[in-house]
């Protein structure tokens, strides 16, 4: 396992919340790539997406991901990071990638309004269709998969167990 860890997965799986706890536990720095974008543009992710559109948003996200300097870092990626092969290969070369997986019904329970989350999808695509489309991409780029179908603490424990097994 590399010295840094990147978390990928759908909105609502807990990448940011679990990532912060994981970084605290390991004494690593924590970076949320969505917050990198929001800080740079001084707008919410949804406002950036609305202002620049889907294709430009993907370029903005790719640039943000490619700017990450990994050094004992936990990175919580945006859910659409997997649409940039260039960025994902950059992340993969510098960190171990863990796909935090959750069933679709859990995600819709956790995310009350996708239209305010900066959630990237085609205009004619449902959230469930976007979920299905992304699953294979998350799996493609992931070194490891961890299920988060219960509590954040349980998922954190699974990740820590995985880290201890692989080190």
Single out the residue of 167, 166, 159, 162 nearest to residue 21, CA to CA.
159
CATH numeric code, 5-166:
3.40.50.300
Question: Is residue 114 scored above 80 in pLDDT?
Answer: no
Q: What is the CA radius of gyration of the chain?
A: 15
1 pLDDT exceeds 70?
no
Burial of 20 (0-12, 13-18, 19+ CB in 10 A): middle
Cα distance between residue 5 and residue 106, in whole Å: 24
Q: Say what the pTM is.
A: 0.94
Whole-angstrom distance, CA of residue 82 vs CA of residue 61: 10
Query: Per-domain residue ranges for the chain?
Result: 5-166
């Amino acid at each position: 396992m590399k010295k840094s860890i990147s978390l990928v997965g759908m909105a609502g799986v807990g990448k940011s919340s679990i990532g912060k706890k994981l970084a605290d536990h390991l004494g690593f720095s924590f970076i949320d790539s969505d917050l990198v974008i929001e800080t740079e543009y001084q707008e919410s992710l949804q406002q950036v997406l609305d202002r620049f559109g889907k294709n430009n948003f993907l370029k903005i996200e790719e640039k943000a991901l490619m700017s990450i300097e990994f050094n004992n870092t936990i990175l919580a990626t945006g859910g659409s990071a997997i649409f940039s092969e260039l960025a994902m290969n950059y992340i993969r070369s510098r960190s171990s990638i863990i796909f935090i997986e959750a069933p679709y019904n859990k995600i819709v329970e956790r995310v009350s309004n996708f239209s305010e989350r900066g959630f990237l999808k085609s205009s004619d695509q449902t959230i469930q269709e976007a979920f299905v489309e992304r699953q294979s991409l998350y799996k493609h780029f992931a070194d490891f998969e961890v299920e988060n179908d219960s509590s954040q603490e349980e998922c954190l424990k699974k990740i820590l167990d995985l880290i201890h097994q692989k080190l």
